[in-house]
Amino acid sequence: GAANIGVVGLAVMGSNLARNLASREGNSVAVYNRTYARTESLVTEHPEAGFIAGKSIDEFVASLAKPRTAIIMVQAGAGTDAVIDQLAERFEPGDIIVDGGNANFQDTIAREQRIAPTGIHFVGVGISGGEEGALKGPSIMPGGSEESYRTLGPILASIAAVVAGEPCVTHVGTNGAGHFVKMIHNGIEYADMQLIGEAYDLLRTVGGLPPHAVADIFARWNEGPLESYLVEITADILRHVDQATGLPFVDVVLDQAGSKGTGVWTVQNALDLGVPVGGIAEAVFARAVSGKAEQRAAVRRLVTSRPEVQKVSPEFAEDVSAALYASKIVAYAQGFDAITAGAEKYGWNIHKDQIAKIWRGGCIIRARFLDRITQAYTENPDITTLLEAPYFAQAVADGEAAWRRVVATAALSGVPVPGFSSALSYYDSLAAERLPAALVQGQRDFFGAHTYRRTDRDGAFHTLWGGDRSEVTA
Ligand code: NBP
């Protein structure tokens, strides 16, 4: 075999990844697709790539140099399992099967376990950045064994996005760690998009600005600490005018947001692990609410008068920017908490500074902000929350008053801000001297004898609520 890397599955993602691989010095790329017509058109359209095309899976496997390394880019689920089995039948111990699709990390863990007895490495790799990222340089989150990474790492580094001279790839951890972190990335992406959406809504509804003026504000924000791909494209989208009607594009799009499920996975996993990721959950729920057309229509019919939109100062946009930044810090703090919890639960040694680093390029949440996260975790990997890192503590303190004004103004004006307000409540929960959790413990003890702990003594206690209300040690 002559190819150091192979790609199976040549739909848009696989084709682009194969072309990216072939364009990099040192790679020779074998390609295979179940339906040969796809292989043929890729090879014909891109003779410069020098692809080694396999007509059959056997031909493909024979064209790979050892250790054979093949990246699967087929439909997640049954398609992926079918290809894994075909490769596992033909590969030898030490060879590497890579799943580059959007697999659920639990499936990746199970697949790795299933393949491990054969001596073949199974590696789940999260690849972010969509079609364009696959072609020009994605952010890459590989899991799998250390040993497999010695072969795979340099190949992935050759195609990853590059920021400040460094490729956006790091060995995240064993088995499903890569797909796990990709999932969290997508959860954070949901939260970030929701927060940006709320900022737009406030500037428009309360600030009274037309979309093109809001676009100008986002473009300005993109020159400062909020600089990010999502803020940049938001300005673009808000400026766009629908060609059919001449109306702002954002006004002709149906306001019901879709989702493909990775945000839901993030929240489901966080619920299982007991990690509060309210910012991500609210973003998932906000999309769900937007889709409830009948309920929205029913409530709109009932509500005859809406609150009067509050008058705001000329500095309102600055307030919204501060609220957006503080809420964003909370959302990322929650996402990194989910990573910490997953690492603990599944035994992964995840370096969070490295994760923030590889998200700086190639992926949807790429942003200047991520440098600050890398810095925070490099200075102290053991901080209990990002909110405790000096830069973020200061940033939240600086924006706090504005954040409160914005959430209060939104509530008084009847503008929904589930992201901003849940982030602020989360922050206030962490900052509060006492939480009503004490009362909840009392309720739990009253009706279910669940016991409680005391502030002044160790141990578990129960009050005899139905009797003389004396306290007993549980
Ligand atoms: P699709 O998800 O549309 O899958 C099409 C490919 O799967 C074709 O090559 C098809 O072969 C192959 N395939 C199927 Br379907 N069933 C198969 C089977 N039983 N055996 C062998 N091959 C089978 O491709 P895509 O849109 O390029 O996405 C590929 C992966 O990348 C997916 O996991 C997707 O979720 C992920 N993805 C990621 C991003 C991102 O930003 N990271 C974006 C889009 C997609 P055929 O030609 O013979 O039908």
Among residues 112, 182, 198, 357, which one is catalytic?
A: 182
Q: What is the mean pLDDT of residues 41-53?
A: 98
The rounded distance, in Å, linking the Cα atoms of 236 and 214 is 11
At 382 the pLDDT is 94
pLDDT confidence bin for 39, thresholds 50/70/90:
very high
Given strand 5-8, what is the order of strands in its sheet?
Answer: 52-53, 29-32, 5-8, 69-72, 96-99, 121-128, 139-142
Q: Say if pTM beats, i.e. exceeds, 0.80.
A: yes
Q: What is the mean pLDDT of residues 354-378?
A: 96
At 121 the pLDDT is 98
Does residue 261's CB lie within 6 angstroms of at least one atom of ligand 1? no
- The closest of 186, 246, 239, 180 to 212, measured between CA atoms, is 239
- Which of 13, 16, 364 has the most ligand 1 atoms within 8 A of CB, as the residue to mutate? 13
Please provide the average confidence, as pLDDT, over all residues in the chain: 97
CA atoms 105, 100, 330, 261: torsion sign: negative
Q: What is the mean pLDDT of residues 444-448?
A: 98
Atom of ligand 1 nearest to the CA of 37: 47
Q: How far is C-alpha 65 from the chain's CA centre?
A: 35
Ligand 1 geometric centre to CA of 84 (Å):
13
Do residues 225 and 369 lie in contact, with contact meaning Cβ atoms separated by under 8 Å?
yes
Q: What is the mean pLDDT of residues 101-114?
A: 97
Residue nearest to atom 18 of ligand 1 (CA): 79
Check if 345 is active-site.
no
Partners of residue 99 on adjacent β-strands: 72, 124
Phi, psi dihedrals of residue 439, rounded to the nearest 5°: -65, -40
pLDDT confidence bin for 260, thresholds 50/70/90:
confident
DSSP classification of residue 47: G
At 372 the pLDDT is 97
- Which of 36, 73, 128, 183 has the most ligand 1 atoms within 8 A of CB, as the residue to mutate? 73
Residue in the block written with tokens 């039948």 = 89
pLDDT confidence bin for 266, thresholds 50/70/90:
very high
Atom of ligand 1 nearest to the CA of 103: 33
Atom of ligand 1 nearest to the CA of 133: 41
pLDDT confidence bin for 42, thresholds 50/70/90:
very high
Query: Is residue 246 classed exposed, middle or buried when 0-12, 13-18 and 19+ CB atoms within 10 A define those classes?
Result: exposed
Do residues 182 and 126 lie in contact, with contact meaning Cβ atoms separated by under 8 Å?
yes
Residue nearest to atom 16 of ligand 1 (CA): 79
The rounded distance, in Å, linking the Cα atoms of 188 and 345 is 20
Ligand 1 geometric centre to CA of 192 (Å):
27
Does residue 16's CB lie within 6 angstroms of at least one atom of ligand 1? no
7 pLDDT more than 80 = yes
Other beta carbons within 10 Å of 249: 16
Q: Tens digits of per-residue pLDDT, 289-325?
A: 999 999 999 999 999 899 999 999 999 999 999 999 9
At 206 the pLDDT is 98
- The closest of 457, 458, 460 to 473, measured between CA atoms, is 460
Does residue 34's CB lie within 6 angstroms of at least one atom of ligand 1? yes
pLDDT confidence bin for 473, thresholds 50/70/90:
very high
Percent of the chain past pLDDT 70, that is, above it, reads 100
Q: What is the mean pLDDT of residues 13-17?
A: 98
pLDDT confidence bin for 261, thresholds 50/70/90:
confident
Check if 92 is active-site.
no
Q: Tens digits of per-residue pLDDT, 455-471?
A: 999 999 999 999 999 99
DSSP classification of residue 306: P
Does residue 35's CB lie within 6 angstroms of at least one atom of ligand 1? yes
- The closest of 336, 402, 407 to 365, measured between CA atoms, is 336
At 1 the pLDDT is 76
Does residue 72's CB lie within 6 angstroms of at least one atom of ligand 1? no
- The closest of 185, 468, 199, 160 to 326, measured between CA atoms, is 199
Give ipTM to 2 decimals: 0.97
pLDDT confidence bin for 399, thresholds 50/70/90:
very high
* Strand locations in 165-223 (E): 166-167
Cis bond upstream, residue 67 (ω within 30):
yes
Does residue 73's CB lie within 6 angstroms of at least one atom of ligand 1? yes
Does residue 87's CB lie within 6 angstroms of at least one atom of ligand 1? no
At 186 the pLDDT is 97
Does residue 9's CB lie within 6 angstroms of at least one atom of ligand 1? yes
Query: Is residue 184 classed exposed, middle or buried when 0-12, 13-18 and 19+ CB atoms within 10 A define those classes?
Result: buried
pLDDT confidence bin for 259, thresholds 50/70/90:
confident
Integer-rounded Cα Rg, in Å, for the chain is 26
Does residue 10's CB lie within 6 angstroms of at least one atom of ligand 1? yes
